[in-house]
Structure 1
Amino acid sequence: MPAVLPAVLRAACFALVGLALALRALPAAAAEPIQVGSKRFTESYVLGELARLALQQGGVAAVHRQGLGNTAILEQALRSGQIDLYPEYTGTIVRELLKRQPAPGAPPPTLAELNTWLAPLGLKAAVPLGFNNSYALALREADAQRLGVATLSAVAALPAATAARLRPGLSHEFLVRADGWPGLQQRYGLQPAAPRALDHGLAYQALAQGQVDLIDVYSTDAQIGRLGLRVLRDDLGFFPRYDAVLLMRANLPAAALAALAPLQGHIDEAAMIAMNAAVEIDGRPFAEVAGAFLRTGPAAAPAAPGLLALIFAPDLGRLLGQHLALVAGSVLMAVGLGVPLGVLAQRRARLGAWVMAAVGLLQTLPSLALLAFLIAWLGRIGFLPALLALFLYALLPIVRNTVAGLASVPAGQRDAARALGLRPWAAWRCVELPQALPTLLAGIGTAAVINVGTATVAAFVGAGGLGDRIVAGLAVNDTQRMLAGAIPAALLALAVQAALAGLQRWLVPAPLRGAPQRPGAA
């Protein structure tokens, strides 16, 4: 047993060094292909795939980092060089990125004007795609007829008691955008009930089920026609035009621009609605829909793939690899820091209380809030902030179980080790660690299994993994697509738990195992 432990510790050290080298190599590896980003809604996914395929057809290597988040995250990724372009809308560029508030009735800026304003940021807008996708508010047709409303002004003119019974369900970004709910409410004097924050992909379902009465929509959403909704006319002209363009770094290679040029003016509103419908209603993959459009224009939809086909899709190996890299890297890092912290906490009771309080506090932080903080601190999205977040979450079970395991070693055995003349390190390695190892390994198992589940959230910041499927399914309200990510993640958690149980049987002598332990037992 003592001979095995140094080898295990050395292997862990080599793994940490390898992880550090891999992280250092990430920027260089990501700089080769053109990085296409997209936001977390159907149309952005489809347009991102169209851009990727157009680049590849033009002989330019490209990858699509799907569903990276909202406008602020995409802008940060673009300006920091983590992505090279993403589909955006002129109204969003003007009001959200440039923070300009055009006068009511002012004509929309030209592309040249936009690029003059974007130049100091190192960005430019190019390749106008050919359609306008405006924000709007919509409600059920039956409710619109009952209330007698067709415009936003008519909603604002409703009696206060009637307006207060309207239950808005608005997307998170729309609730805070300058060209969203705050400005719209002020412009029209809207006074419905307090809005409920919903993911855009779920809002249509909530409206159809009668859980909300008023939602924000994009004018090219396929669900508007499918559900027969009444889109309220913006009669005061609050919303600007949202012409679809590709927002990119100003130094995008000329070859990439040339490859993207065939998309210019090639997509009208009807075509975009048809592609959105192919994804949201027919259940077709984003890449398939985009590829069909580039080859022949919108075509008849084949049968939607079943759950097994979605689970074993060609991207399964890549997503599993990304997921395992996040979990293994974060747990190894947590072992490297958590075990020494646990030893220190067990030896120094006063300091130990502070250590346990600190790692306990980290565990209470909401995952998305922690990711947002790490993105702002690191100035980047993707693998690194997700890895650090998972590392912080893994500390508590490892530190706690290290303390508990060492505390369970009988004092008589420590005294015997000292009486035999063993130095403190030798006594810890030969006496205390073997006794504490079952509990310590249980803590590592807990951290690993928790991180398998938590790593799915990393997809919200472009870190990949099985969460990509869950996020994509959420964006289009596709349960099967979500299950195609959730089921492999659950099976991976079981596999990790079984592997760690096997490791425990190999490392821990039978007399020290006692009752079979499961990850989480302290």
Structure 2
Amino acid sequence: MHLPRSFLRAALLFALAWLAVCGIARAADETLRVGSKRFTESYILAELLAQTAAPHTATPPVVRQGLGNTAIVYEALRSGAIDLYAEYTGTIALEILKGAPADTREAMNAALAPMGLGVAIPLGFNDGYALAVRAADAERLGLRTLSDLAKHPELKFGLSNEFIGRADGWKGLAGRYGFAQTPTGLDHGLAYDAVAAKQIDVIDIYTTDAKIDHLGLRVLEDDRKYFPRYDAVVLYKLDLPARLPKAWAALKTLEGKVDEHAMIAMNARAELQGVPFDAIARDFIASTGKGASAQPQEERRGFTAKLFGPDLWKLARQHLLLVALSVGIAILVGVPIAILVFPHVRLRAVVLGFASLLQTVPSLALLAVLISMLGAIGALPALIALTLYSLLPIMRNTVTGLTEVPNGLRLAGTALGMTPPQSLRLVLLPLALPTLLAGVRTATAIAIGTATIAAFIGAGGFGERIVTGLALNDRELLVAGALPAAALALLSEGVFELVEYIMRRRRRAPPSSLPPA
């Protein structure tokens, strides 16, 4: 069955747009690409690394913020999508090398070398894992160590999902101390609110978190020495020092410059004062070597400033492009496939079943797999994921629309001498169009919501605000990302309502009168 030429022309245009937006060609070698995980300290350190190197690079460094957990940001580094990021020795040893902590940095580098990676530039502070409880509960129950905590199985644990799943996390800790509780999985930032509201009693913390003292929490001693040291270092691609020698030399000046007090202070400025990450890094660089210890106290930005911030139109453009391109490509791929499999009942069931299966794959898991397969982060894996999620409603509604065309009209087209392509173009598709359009409408709504997850891999969009708001536990920033996404969804609904109204008017319009004989 031949496809209309308009489909082929549209396919060519979207393919060209895909290449332009995704930037499949790698960035020039002189560009430094810095990544971060999705918590406050990692955001700040990424900006600190980028700004330190910026005066010594031909092009401004690209900062890929909030790339999910260790698995995603490590995969981005391994694939070459980023060049370096701030990591911790305990995490490298147990999560990346899957073994016991190396005694020296040289031993760790020897193990990383076959992967094309290296560890360098110890920044000067240890940010370890620990468990914390409310100080009042610690006093009441006599809690000083983790062994003391194990004697109180009635206490409720709320731990970050990453900590629950890590090799150096909950499973080993519970085995070492004999904890019998089943912890609730929470986002790291939200856990602080939960423990303050007494919804949970115990949380995992990073020892440089700013909210430990702010919320009056008691950090419990790891008396059985379960946790290794988590010294902050730079994990990097081995070709980076030779590729960007001046930038690398500048980065090495950060060695030993960030102590624990300085890191806690920077985290506090972000979480308690709402200071942007880039401003915190800039102030630290300016103060280094000048004996400056106090930081300016900026006024916290209000909700209106966050909602209508300077990044609004950039994020709107990114979000719109992700949605429009993914849904457009899904139409160009899904509609022809649905047309081709429609006459074959068994093949149709297999194809739609496969599309349904794609819908069940969790978004972050699919993005992580695509990063590994493509060796890239950003728009390309996000577009592929969104396109795959958009296929099912478009294909299913196309098949349904074609099925609903009355058999009498099919036979009428054949009786008039139409060829199968003519019958498809002039009879079947026009009659199936309202149902097909309903599928596109559903796919668009799904894409607008799912596109917020793309921020976890540096693809931009309103999800950037949501991801950062989660990291900072900033409800206003979360809403400032959710509201524009919701407005975009409402706008799309309005557009589809208008299109359907126009289609109904045209169907009801009487045929033009014939001229007199």
Q: So what's the TM-score if we normalise by structure 1?
A: 0.89
Cα offsets for 1:196-251 (capped at 9, x unmatched): 11111111111111111111111100010001111011222222221111111111
2:253 is paired with a residue whose SS is: helix
Q: Residue 365 of structure 2 aligns with which residue?
A: 369
Q: Residue 13 of structure 1 aligns with which residue?
A: 11
Residues 446 and 489 of structure 1, relative CA distance in 2, 3 Å threshold:
same
Q: Residue 245 of structure 2 aligns with which residue?
A: 254
Aligned mates of 2:108, 2:508 — CA distance in 1: 68
The answer as to 2:221 corresponding to 1:223 is: no
Q: Residue 306 of structure 1 aligns with which residue?
A: 302
2:133 is paired with a residue whose SS is: strand
Q: Residue 520 of structure 1 aligns with which residue?
A: none
**Does the Cα contact within 8 Å between 1:126 and 1:246 map onto a contact in 2?**
yes
Q: Residue 227 of structure 2 aligns with which residue?
A: 239
Cα offsets for 1:323-347 (capped at 9, x unmatched): 2232122112211221123223432
Q: Residue 512 of structure 2 aligns with which residue?
A: none
1:334-413 aligned at under 5 Å gives the runs 334-413=330-409
The answer as to 2:125 corresponding to 1:131 is: yes
**Does the Cα contact within 8 Å between 1:435 and 1:512 map onto a contact in 2?**
no
Aligned mates of 2:338, 2:332 — CA distance in 1: 11
**Does the Cα contact within 8 Å between 2:7 and 2:332 map onto a contact in 1?**
no
Q: Residue 51 of structure 2 aligns with which residue?
A: 53
Residues 356 and 10 of structure 1, relative CA distance in 2, 3 Å threshold:
closer
Q: Residue 281 of structure 1 aligns with which residue?
A: 272
Q: Residue 105 of structure 1 aligns with which residue?
A: none
Which of these residues, 173, 182, 186, is aligned with residue 171 of structure 2? 182
> Offset of 1:456 from its aligned partner?
0.6
**Does the Cα contact within 8 Å between 1:96 and 1:177 map onto a contact in 2?**
yes
Gaps of 5+ in 1: 103-107, 515-522
Farther-moved stretch of structure 1 (73-82 vs 321-330): 321-330
Structure 1 counterpart of 2:201, which letter? D
**Does the Cα contact within 8 Å between 2:67 and 2:456 map onto a contact in 1?**
yes
Structure 1 counterpart of 2:13, which letter? A
The answer as to 2:507 corresponding to 1:512 is: yes
C-alpha RMSD of matched pairs (Å)? 2.3
Aligned mates of 2:297, 2:425 — CA distance in 1: 64
Aligned mates of 2:127, 2:179 — CA distance in 1: 26
Q: Residue 65 of structure 2 aligns with which residue?
A: 66
Aligned mates of 1:291, 1:393 — CA distance in 2: 40
Residues 376 and 251 of structure 1, relative CA distance in 2, 3 Å threshold:
closer
Structure 2 counterpart of 1:176, which letter? G
1:230 is paired with a residue whose SS is: strand
Which of these residues, 251, 255, 267, is aligned with residue 258 of structure 2? 267
Cα offsets for 1:237-269 (capped at 9, x unmatched): 222221111111111121221222332222111
**Does the Cα contact within 8 Å between 1:49 and 1:286 map onto a contact in 2?**
yes
**Does the Cα contact within 8 Å between 2:121 and 2:252 map onto a contact in 1?**
yes
**Does the Cα contact within 8 Å between 1:59 and 1:259 map onto a contact in 2?**
no
Q: Residue 103 of structure 2 aligns with which residue?
A: 109
Aligned mates of 2:281, 2:104 — CA distance in 1: 28
Q: So what's the TM-score if we normalise by structure 2?
A: 0.90
Which of these residues, 143, 148, 156, is aligned with residue 154 of structure 1? 148
> Offset of 1:44 from its aligned partner?
0.5
Q: Residue 89 of structure 2 aligns with which residue?
A: 90
**Does the Cα contact within 8 Å between 1:166 and 1:192 map onto a contact in 2?**
no
The answer as to 2:277 corresponding to 1:294 is: no
Aligned mates of 2:393, 2:296 — CA distance in 1: 52
Structure 2 counterpart of 1:185, which letter? A
Aligned mates of 1:454, 1:224 — CA distance in 2: 33
**Does the Cα contact within 8 Å between 1:402 and 1:439 map onto a contact in 2?**
yes
**Does the Cα contact within 8 Å between 2:449 and 2:485 map onto a contact in 1?**
yes
Farther-moved stretch of structure 1 (42-51 vs 237-246): 237-246
Residues 197 and 183 of structure 1, relative CA distance in 2, 3 Å threshold:
same
Q: Residue 518 of structure 1 aligns with which residue?
A: none
2:342 is paired with a residue whose SS is: helix
The answer as to 2:429 corresponding to 1:433 is: yes
**Does the Cα contact within 8 Å between 2:174 and 2:180 map onto a contact in 1?**
no
> Offset of 1:376 from its aligned partner?
4.2
1:26 is paired with a residue whose SS is: coil
**Does the Cα contact within 8 Å between 1:38 and 1:65 map onto a contact in 2?**
yes
Cα offsets for 1:166-217 (capped at 9, x unmatched): 2111111211222222222222x23241111111111111111111111111
Structure 2 counterpart of 1:217, which letter? I
1:419-498 aligned at under 5 Å gives the runs 419-498=415-494
Aligned mates of 2:284, 2:275 — CA distance in 1: 13
Cα offsets for 1:256-308 (capped at 9, x unmatched): 21222332222111111111111111122212222222223551221112222
Cα offsets for 1:397-447 (capped at 9, x unmatched): 111221222223232222222112111101111122122222212211221
Aligned mates of 1:30, 1:312 — CA distance in 2: 33
Which of these residues, 184, 200, 203, is aligned with residue 196 of structure 1? 184
Structure 1 counterpart of 2:247, which letter? A
Aligned mates of 1:63, 1:191 — CA distance in 2: 43
Percent identity over paired residues: 53
Structure 1 counterpart of 2:210, which letter? A
Aligned mates of 1:329, 1:361 — CA distance in 2: 22
1:347 is paired with a residue whose SS is: coil
The answer as to 2:404 corresponding to 1:415 is: no
Farther-moved stretch of structure 1 (261-270 vs 83-92): 261-270
> Offset of 1:66 from its aligned partner?
0.7
Structure 2 counterpart of 1:407, which letter? T
Aligned mates of 1:95, 1:369 — CA distance in 2: 21
Cα offsets for 1:340-382 (capped at 9, x unmatched): 2322343223332333333233223332333334344445443
Q: Residue 20 of structure 2 aligns with which residue?
A: 22
Residues 302 and 47 of structure 1, relative CA distance in 2, 3 Å threshold:
same
Aligned mates of 1:310, 1:8 — CA distance in 2: 43
> Offset of 1:490 from its aligned partner?
1.3
Aligned mates of 1:488, 1:513 — CA distance in 2: 36
**Does the Cα contact within 8 Å between 2:396 and 2:439 map onto a contact in 1?**
yes
Residues 360 and 117 of structure 1, relative CA distance in 2, 3 Å threshold:
closer
> Offset of 1:498 from its aligned partner?
3.1
Q: Residue 165 of structure 1 aligns with which residue?
A: 154
> Offset of 1:513 from its aligned partner?
7.0
1:247 is paired with a residue whose SS is: strand
